[in-house]
Structure 1
Amino acid sequence: MDVITAEVAIIGAGSAGMRAYREVTKVTDNVLLIEGGPYGTTCARVGCMPSKLLIAAAEAAHAGRSADPFGVTFGAPQIDGAAVMKRVREERDRFVGHVVAAVEDWPDRHRIKAMATFRSDHELALDDGRIVRADRIVIATGSRTNILPFFHEFGDRMIVNDDVFDWHDLPGSVAVFGAGVIGLELGQALHRLGVRVRLFGRDHLVGPLGDPEVRDKALEIFTGALDFLPHAEVKRRACTETGVQVDWDEDGTTRTEDFAYALIATGRRPNVDTLGLENTTLERDRRGIPVYDVHTGQCGDSPIFIAGDANDRFPLLHESADEGMAAGYNAARFPEVRRFAKSTPISVVFTDPQIAMVGETYRDLTERDADFTAAGFDWSGQGRARVMRVNEGLLRMYGDRNTGKLLGAEMIGPASEHIAHLLAWSIQSNLTVDEMLERPFYHPTLEEGVRTALRRLNHAMQMGPAFPPRCLDCGPGS
């Protein structure tokens, strides 16, 4: 039996695994990076970047259709589906190429192409018959699309987001199942690119939103913008000669519609179920994920660490990279283990309008029975937003009644990706709402809407006056 030894073995060469590798090699050259699939991160290959390429094309088409109110006429956009997908694939491949080149530039002796499963806390069995014995191990195996069994009724016309980015042309129609991040982004983008789309949701959920007021606003916006069933009672799924067929109940009537494909966007699941974790001493939660310290990445008191989508905490690139850094740093120095402070949580859904969540969410605060106050701002009358015709959405902020500090926010509206950053930086800087209001707000900008929301929150916490409305940055009833 061929046995390979290492101080540190890292399973997975995605965003978390690559960052862990870089940290480990600062301390030791005796490291193995084990990858069973192709190199290239989820973000570059099937996630963040190709989806934004498709969304960018959709935004260009939508801008052409929406210019008339400005006195500018383009006419109906002519969408060349083959050209759209050609750019998506080529740019995607360029992003992936940079990642692959980075990994392949690392020493051959550090890289193994094989699937790995645990034999014990210190041993991994590779699918090529070899054994790896490592003093410490980092789990960075990422995640995959979660496909519920009944979706297989769609046969070979069932696809996931990975498949979309390999298309050579846009299809005529797609049924999208799941109104989470992936379903909303791809569903809206395909709709704007001329594909007939119907989005099937469950339980009136919209993306990750938990604040009832923001969620209701998002439902209002998206049900008015595309064929979106927030709670679809699907009765039958079938594969046909030309695509798929779906039956669902709507207002007491059964409706039937045919589509070219069924896109399954019902979330992702961590790749830990095939790792043989039952052969280790690790304690696992009800989902089968090792119990670990979020500040160190360490699984219990063991020499095993976990990072990235595999831990199912925040499946976001920047979180994966940060966790990979902590896991790699500690795996290289174990048994010495350092705790790393976590950044303020921030997540963005790149729909139009955008959705964002910052800090503690409404659900987080209510579940821990926090003593907090909420205040909101409707974008409909905000000056700069009206100028640009992006004046729809709702921003809700949460403040601590006792300290006056901003705790978090949920929003749907213009420039949410940028507003979310401002709020996340403020939370991480430990600012009170009063202190945030002392910062400059330029006129006329969307940020003036943020100022109005902050003023309302400060007043709701009984820590500031009720400011009079300002006609250029406040909506109705401000």
Structure 2
Amino acid sequence: MTRMKVDVAIIGAGSAGMTAYRAAKAHTDSVVVIEGGAYGTTCARVGCMPSKLLISAANAAHALKMAPSFGVNPGAIEVDGRKVMDRVRSERDRFVGFVVETVEGWPEAHRLRGTAKFLSSHELLVGSSTIVQADRIVIATGSSPCVPDGWRETLGDKLLINDDVFEWSDLPGSVAVVGTGVIGLELAQALHRLGVKVRLYGRSRAIGPLTDPTVAAEATRIFSEEIPVSLGVTISPTLTPDGRVSVISGDEHGVRSAEVFDYLIVATGRRPNMSGLDLEVAGIGLDGSGQPVVDRTTGQSTRSHIFIAGDANGMTEILHEAADDGRIAGDNAGRHPIVRPRPRRAPLGIVFSDPQIAMVGATFQQLKAGGPAFEVGEASFADQGRSRVMLENRGMIRVYADTATGIFLGAEMVGPAAEHIGHLLSWSVQRRDTVQQMIDSPFYHPVIEEGVRTALRHLQRKLVLPPQAPESCLDCVPGS
């Protein structure tokens, strides 16, 4: 049995683990990163980047389909599935290569291959032959897709998770996508636009992660008009005699239907990779759902020397949040027992559907559940000038502000350019801008952001605070 002693051991070499390593190394060179799987982050290998490559191909096909509406005839539209997937895999491998190159550039003494589990609160067994004794430990093991019990046994290799999609050499003829959250929506719409027969199934009656019922209803209406959907259903998949997937769905009224597909993609959420770590041996406190209790401002678990970062903490499965988690946890692990709480950035979530979805700051659900008294302003993009010019005039935005102070609290939207609007609004949340300060900022014409100004003006009129400056007549452009 080999033994090694370090100041900091980091379990996992994903986005959180890599940033934790860099942060911890600023305080000590006695660091080891333990990884039992392939190097390459979830984002680069099976998440952000390959999914956007697939979506970009789908958007190109959709743009050609929409061209006649502008008076442009592109001719016959042909999707070459092999070329689509060749580019997806090639560019994916390029992104993964950068990550692998970075990790393999670390000193060999800082890298240890093998799965880890706790032997005590300060000891890890790695593989079957190495014991690592660490003064401080960072758990950054990531997350994995959830698969309903029994489905994998029933469907075998006809059941896929989103990771599997990016290994395709060609597009299939048909897929059922189960799960109407971010991953399910993005994959279903992209594959549909690339000519794959798709049906999106969901236990929920809403599509996407939105919590504002008005915006969620609009998003569900928009996506249901394009993608074949079955909402508010439970499903039972089985294999047909010829090896395809039969999906039987039923709703609360007992209405049942059946459809056959080449594959079934499960996109019903992800869970932290905690099984096999033997957390109980480390004495880490768990919450009501069985997940470790974590202080997001320090990264600490209930054991002060054990930190949890990234998807492993089960909080916000977004790359920039995982990187922040890793930086905070790694920095505090490196300097422990001195621990510095760090403020978190304003929440920002984006879905790369078309139209896009953005959720900024406090959500409608959070404000209703326990936030300050708030007012809501809204605007539709249906007749918004620039959106209409581009034939992207779908969706709406709802914005929220503190009734007492006029401070902007958050927004939810489905509509054009949501990835960019979401960033602008998240900056206002982080600065604690008032609605009036946002309205007083420059808005060019004609731009989609003018629709945001319309929503802010609607919100400002509902606040009891008097406006701080008169509106300029130059702002009063019809259709803006």
TM-score normalised by the shorter chain: which range applies?
A: over 0.9
Cα distance in 1 for partners of 2:307, 2:241 equals 46
Q: Structure 1: which amino acid aligns with 2:355?
A: P
Which residue is 2:222 aligned to? Answer: 221
SS at match of 1:410: strand
Instruction: Give 1:252 shift.
Output: 5.6
Instruction: Give 1:431 shift.
Output: 0.6
Query: How large is the RMSD of aligned CA atoms in angstroms?
Result: 1.6
SS at match of 2:120: coil
Residue by residue over 1:209-256, the C-alpha shift from the partner in whole angstroms, topping out at 9 and shown as x without a partner, is 110001100110011011011212325533542321111236765322
Instruction: Give 1:369 shift.
Output: 4.7
Which residue is 1:387 aligned to? Answer: 389
Q: Superposed, which structure 2 residues align to 1:262-277 within 5 Å?
A: 262-277=264-279
| Structure 2 gap segments, 5+ residues each | none
Cα distance in 2 for partners of 1:41, 1:301 equals 27
Q: Structure 1: which amino acid aligns with 2:181?
A: G
Cα distance in 2 for partners of 1:27, 1:344 equals 28
The answer to whether the 8 A contact 2:408-2:435 is kept is: yes
The answer to whether the 8 A contact 1:449-1:473 is kept is: no
Instruction: Give 1:148 shift.
Output: 1.2
The percentage of aligned residue pairs carrying the same residue is 52
Residue by residue over 1:392-412, the C-alpha shift from the partner in whole angstroms, topping out at 9 and shown as x without a partner, is 001011110011011011110
Q: Structure 2: which amino acid aligns with 1:244?
A: V
The structure-2 alpha-carbon separation of the partners of 1:473 and 1:336, relative to structure 1 and needing over 3 Å to count, comes to farther
Residue by residue over 1:8-31, the C-alpha shift from the partner in whole angstroms, topping out at 9 and shown as x without a partner, is 000000000000000111111111
Residue by residue over 1:26-79, the C-alpha shift from the partner in whole angstroms, topping out at 9 and shown as x without a partner, is 111111000000000000000000000000000000000001111101133110
Which residue is 1:367 aligned to? Answer: 369
Q: Structure 1: which amino acid aligns with 2:454?
A: T
Cα distance in 2 for partners of 1:32, 1:118 equals 15
Which residue is 1:164 aligned to? Answer: 165
The answer to whether the 8 A contact 1:154-1:239 is kept is: no
SS at match of 1:166: coil
Instruction: Give 1:280 shift.
Output: 1.2
Cα distance in 1 for partners of 2:371, 2:328 equals 30
Q: Structure 2: which amino acid aligns with 1:367?
A: A
Cα distance in 2 for partners of 1:124, 1:241 equals 48
The structure-2 alpha-carbon separation of the partners of 1:453 and 1:114, relative to structure 1 and needing over 3 Å to count, comes to same
The answer to whether the 8 A contact 1:382-1:472 is kept is: no
The answer to whether the 8 A contact 1:360-1:408 is kept is: yes
The answer to whether the 8 A contact 1:32-1:111 is kept is: yes
1:292 paired with 2:298, answer: no
- The one of 343, 348, 359 equivalent to 1:341 is 343
| Structure 1 gap segments, 5+ residues each | none
Residue by residue over 1:152-198, the C-alpha shift from the partner in whole angstroms, topping out at 9 and shown as x without a partner, is 23222000010000000000000000001000000000000000000
Q: Superposed, which structure 2 residues align to 1:120-159 within 5 Å?
A: 120-152=120-152, 153-159=154-160
1:404 paired with 2:410, answer: no
Residue by residue over 1:78-110, the C-alpha shift from the partner in whole angstroms, topping out at 9 and shown as x without a partner, is 100000000000000000000000000000010
Q: Superposed, which structure 2 residues align to 1:39-438 within 5 Å?
A: 39-152=39-152, 153-249=154-250, 253-438=255-440
Which residue is 2:478 aligned to? Answer: 472
Residue by residue over 1:315-362, the C-alpha shift from the partner in whole angstroms, topping out at 9 and shown as x without a partner, is 000000011000000000000000111000000000000011000001
**Bigger Cα displacement from structure 2, 350-359 vs 464-473:** 464-473
Give the TM-score normalised by the residue count of structure 1: 0.96
The structure-2 alpha-carbon separation of the partners of 1:291 and 1:254, relative to structure 1 and needing over 3 Å to count, comes to closer
The answer to whether the 8 A contact 2:82-2:169 is kept is: yes
Q: Structure 1: which amino acid aligns with 2:202?
A: G
